[in-house]
Structure 1
Amino acid sequence: MKKINPVPPQITGSFIDVVEVVTLKSKEQARIFFELVSQRLLSVNEWGRYAGISEFKLLDKKGNKIDRQAAKGDYIRIDVPGPGTKSGRGYDWVKVESIVFQHSGDEQLISLQVRPTHFPLGESAVTAHFLRHEATSTFIVRCLGKQVFAEEHGRNELPNTVEGSIVDRGRNFLVGIAAKLGMSYPQWKRLVKGLLAVD
Structure 2
Amino acid sequence: MTMENQSDQNIIPQQYTGTSMDALEERISASTEEAITLFNRTATKLLSINDWGKYAGMSAFQLMDPHGIKAERAAEEGDFIRIDIPGPGTHTGKGYDWVRIQEIKSINEGECQILAIIVRPCAHPLEKEGKTAHFLKDTATSTFIVKRNGVRITAEEHGRNEVPNTETGSVYDKGRNFIVGMAGKLGLSYPQWKSLVKGLLKD
TM-score band w.r.t. shorter chain: over 0.9
| 1:105-136: CA deviation from partner (whole Å, max 9, x where unpaired) | 32110000000000012354200000000000
Q: Distance in 2 between matches of 1:46 and 1:151?
A: 16
1:113 aligns with 2:113: no
Q: Distance in 1 between matches of 2:35 and 2:130?
A: 43
Matches within 5 A, 1:148-187: 148-187=153-192
Deviation at 1:94, TM superposition (A): 0.1
| 1:64-104: CA deviation from partner (whole Å, max 9, x where unpaired) | 00100000000000001001010000000000000010123
Q: Distance in 2 between matches of 1:90 and 1:82?
A: 10
Q: Distance in 2 between matches of 1:193 and 1:77?
A: 22
Deviation at 1:28, TM superposition (A): 1.1
List runs of 5+ in structure 2 lacking aligned partners: none
1:84 aligns with 2:89: yes
3-state SS of paired residue (1:163): coil
**Match of residue 14 from structure 1:** 19
Matches within 5 A, 1:33-182: 33-182=38-187
- Identity, % of aligned pairs? 51
Q: Distance in 1 between matches of 2:18 and 2:113?
A: 30
Q: Distance in 1 between matches of 2:38 and 2:3?
A: 22
The TM-score with structure 1 as length reference comes to: 0.98
User: Counterpart of 1:24 in structure 2: which amino acid?
Assistant: S
When the two chains are superposed, the root-mean-square deviation of aligned CA atoms in Å is 0.9
List runs of 5+ in structure 1 lacking aligned partners: none
Q: Distance in 1 between matches of 2:65 and 2:52?
A: 17
Range 41-50 or range 162-171, more displaced: 162-171
3-state SS of paired residue (1:119): coil
